[in-house]
C-alpha cells in the first residue's frame, strides 16, 4: 500500500512539474577562430607536412604544392613580355626606312603632278585673257590645279608623319601593353610564393581537407587551423535580458572543465541572430515576439589549458 502511494506521488510530480530554482546564469561555450590555408590558383598537393592535432608555429611550412602550372604560366608571361618589348621598340623607332622611301616617292610624284598642273594653269591664263579658250575649259584647268595641290599636301603630310615616327596614341598603347605584360609576370612570381603554405601564427591543426596527389581548385581550404592566440566565449540570450549586459564592460565566466576556473572576460560584440531560427514566441502573442542575440566575450588572460568546445557559465553584473 505504501509503495502504491509513493508511485502515485511520483507520477503526480511528473505531471505537475518539479519546482526549479531560477538562475540568471548564461551557459555557452569556448570557441577559437578558424584559419583556412588555401592556394590562389588550382594546383596539385605535393606534400602535407603536418597531422591532425599538431601544434604549429608562425612561419612553419604546412603544405607544399606542385609547380608544373606555375612553370607554364611563367613561360607564357615571359613570352608576352618579350613581345611587348619588341612592339614598343618598333613603335619607338617609328616608321621603317622602306616605308619612308615609299612615302618620299609618293610625295615627289604628287609634287611633279602639281608642278605640271601649275604650269598648265599659267599657260591657260594667258590664253583665257586673250579669249582663246572658253570659260568652261578654264574652270576645268583651275580645278585640276587645286586637286593636284591638295594631293601634294596630303602626300607631304604623310611623309612628315613617317619621319616623325608613330603617333602619340600608338606609343601610349605600346607602353600600356608593356606595363600589362610586366604586371602579368609579377603576378606569376607572386603565385610562386603560394607553392608553400605556412602558418600565419601559432595554432593547432584542426582539419586536413586534402592529401598528397590530390588536385585542389583555387581557394580550396587545404588545412584548417585553430587560432589559440584569440579564444572567445559565445553565449545566447533573448532580447528581454539584453539590459543586463553592456558592450565593452567586463564580466566573470567560469569554466567547469578547468575546476570552475574564473575568467575575467570583456563583452566585445552583441549580434542579433536570424529571426527564422531564433524567434521565441511569448505567451501573449498579441504583444510581441522575442529575438535572440549572440554575446561574444574575450578573456583578458586566457589560460593555456583552454580548449574549444569547453562549456562556460556567465553571470550578469559588470565587474570593475
- Segments making up each domain of the chain, as ranges: 23-32+229-320, 80-187
Which CATH topology does 23-32+229-320 take?
A: Elongation Factor Tu (Ef-tu); domain 3 (2.40.30)
Which CATH topology does 80-187 take?
A: Helix Hairpins (1.10.287)
Whether 271 and 293 have beta carbons less than 8 Å apart is answered as yes
Partners of 271 in beta bridges = 294
What tens-digit pLDDT sequence spans the chain (320 residues)?
333 333 343 334 333 444 444 458 899 999 999 999 998 778 889 999 999 989 999 999 999 988 766 676 777 777 777 777 777 776 666 556 667 778 888 888 989 999 988 888 888 888 888 888 888 788 888 888 888 888 888 888 877 776 665 566 666 777 777 787 778 777 777 677 778 899 988 899 999 999 998 988 888 999 999 988 889 999 999 888 898 999 999 999 999 999 999 999 999 999 988 866 665 555 655 446 788 899 999 999 888 889 889 999 998 887 76
pTM of the complete model = 0.53
Reference 230, options 208, 249, 202, 251; nearest CA is 202
Amino acid at each position: 500500500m505504501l509503495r502504491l502511494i509513493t508511485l502515485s506521488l511520483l507520477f503526480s510530480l511528473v505531471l505537475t512539474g518539479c519546482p526549479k530554482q531560477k538562475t540568471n546564469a548564461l551557459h555557452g561555450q569556448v570557441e577559437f577562430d578558424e584559419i583556412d590555408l588555401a592556394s590562389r590558383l588550382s594546383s596539385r598537393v605535393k606534400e602535407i607536412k603536418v597531422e591532425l592535432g599538431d601544434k604549429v608555429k608562425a612561419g612553419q611550412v604546412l603544405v607544399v604544392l606542385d609547380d608544373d602550372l606555375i612553370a607554364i604560366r611563367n613561360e607564357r608571361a615571359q613570352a608576352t613580355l618579350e613581345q611587348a618589348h619588341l612592339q614598343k621598340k618598333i613603335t619607338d623607332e617609328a616608321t621603317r626606312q622602306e616605308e619612308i622611301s615609299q612615302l618620299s616617292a609618293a610625295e615627289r610624284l604628287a609634287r611633279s603632278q602639281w608642278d605640271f598642273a601649275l604650269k598648265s594653269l599659267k599657260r591657260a591664263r594667258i590664253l583665257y585673257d586673250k579669249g582663246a579658250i572658253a570659260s568652261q575649259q578654264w574652270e576645268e584647268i583651275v580645278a585640276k590645279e587645286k586637286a593636284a595641290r591638295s594631293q601634294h599636301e596630303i602626300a607631304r603630310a604623310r611623309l612628315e608623319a613617317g619621319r616623325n615616327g608613330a603617333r602619340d596614341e600608338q606609343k601610349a598603347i605600346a607602353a600600356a601593353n608593356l606595363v600589362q605584360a610586366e604586371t602579368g609576370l609579377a603576378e606569376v612570381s607572386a603565385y610562386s610564393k603560394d607553392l608553400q603554405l605556412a602558418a600565419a601564427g601559432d595554432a593547432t591543426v584542426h582539419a586536413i581537407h586534402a592529401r598528397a596527389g590530390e588536385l585542389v581548385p583555387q581557394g580550396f581550404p587545404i588545412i584548417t587551423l585553430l587560432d589559440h592566440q584569440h579564444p572567445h566565449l559565445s553565449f545566447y540570450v533573448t532580447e528581454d535580458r539584453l539590459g543586463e549586459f553592456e558592450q565593452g564592460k567586463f564580466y566573470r565566466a567560469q569554466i567547469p572543465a578547468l575546476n570552475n576556473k574564473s575568467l575575467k572576460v570583456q563583452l566585445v560584440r552583441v549580434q542579433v541572430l536570424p529571426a527564422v531560427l531564433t524567434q521565441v514566441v511569448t505567451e501573449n502573442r498579441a504583444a510581441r515576439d522575442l529575438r535572440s542575440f549572440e554575446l561574444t566575450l574575450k578573456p583578458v588572460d586566457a589560460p593555456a589549458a583552454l580548449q574549444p568546445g569547453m562549456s562556460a557559465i556567465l553571470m550578469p553584473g559588470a565587474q570593475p
